[in-house]
Chain A
Amino acid sequence: MRRHIEFITERIVAPDVSAVTLETGAQVEFKGIVRGMENGRVIAGLQYEAYVAMAEVHVGRMIEELGRRWPCHAVWFIHRLGWVPVGEVSLYVRAEASHREGAFRFCIELIDLLKKDAPIWKAAV
């Protein structure tokens, strides 16, 4: 499985590359967008920080483990850090697999695991 894990402070742009092969039947793309409301109050954006060295290890492991349950040909994971204004993308995940169920499940479960164990934090501003 080809995988790409990245933490960046610039605006996220969907990678203009693909690993589509003759066996690829599904490409699922998820963009997490900063909402303008947080716990009932209007916010300007979110300030993100991460323990990047540890997050890379754990996100990599999550991708490997999920890949055994939901085999994918390629996975992209990009998390933005620092200041992210309302309406902009904070998280980008793309999974390419043979079938749609595996690609959808991979994205959903990766984000669930991320929110549980990846050392990343946000604060509303």
Chain B
Amino acid sequence: MKVLAFATARERAGFSEIEIEVDPVETPRGIMGRVAPGLGVESFRAAVDFEYWDWDAAVGAAREMAIIPPVSGG
């Protein structure tokens, strides 16, 4: 799975994109605990295959996950 981090999440996680092996039963919270321990996800949202996702819901066969900081477009 590809894991992406944007804006402030990228600065805090220390990466913009990584590729990792993921078990379908893993959750975004668990994955972030592995790849960026200590990040603290409370102020972020998770997205899985372009959809906002519960931090504690299994990712299944998804191909891409992202950490979404508070948005500010426009």
B50: which A residues are within 8 A, CB to CB? Answer: 53-54, 57-58
Nearest CB on B from A60, distance (A):
11
1/0 contact string of A66-79 vs chain B (CB within 8 Å): 00000000000001
Select one of B8, B47, B74 contacting A119, CB under 8 A. B47
A57: which B residues are within 8 A, CB to CB? Answer: 50-51
B72 within 8 A of A: yes
A12 within 8 A of B: no
B51: which A residues are within 8 A, CB to CB? Answer: 57
Nearest CB on A from B50, distance (A):
4
Interface size classification for chain A: 20 to 34
In the complex the two chains form, is A79's CB within 8 Å of B73's CB?
Answer: yes
A26 within 8 A of B: no
Chain B: how many interface residues by the 8 Å CB criterion? 15
A4 within 8 A of B: no
Stretch at the interface among B19-27, B33-41, B63-71: B63-71
A123 to B6, CA, bound (A): 12
A58: which B residues are within 8 A, CB to CB? Answer: 50
Select one of A53, A120, A123 contacting B73, CB under 8 A. A120
B31 within 8 A of A: no
A87 within 8 A of B: no
A28 within 8 A of B: no
In the complex the two chains form, is A54's CB within 8 Å of B47's CB?
Answer: yes
A79: which B residues are within 8 A, CB to CB? Answer: 73
| Residue in chain B with minimal CB distance to A115 | B74
Of B8, B50, B68, B74, most buried by chain A (CB within 10 Å of CB) is B74
B68: which A residues are within 8 A, CB to CB? Answer: 51, 119
Select one of A48, A51, A111, A117 contacting B4, CB under 8 A. A51
Chain A residues engaging chain B, CB cutoff 8 angstroms: 32, 48-51, 53-55, 57-58, 79, 90-91, 111, 114-123
The 3 A-B pairs at the shortest CB distance, nearest first, are namely: A120-B73, A121-B7, A54-B50
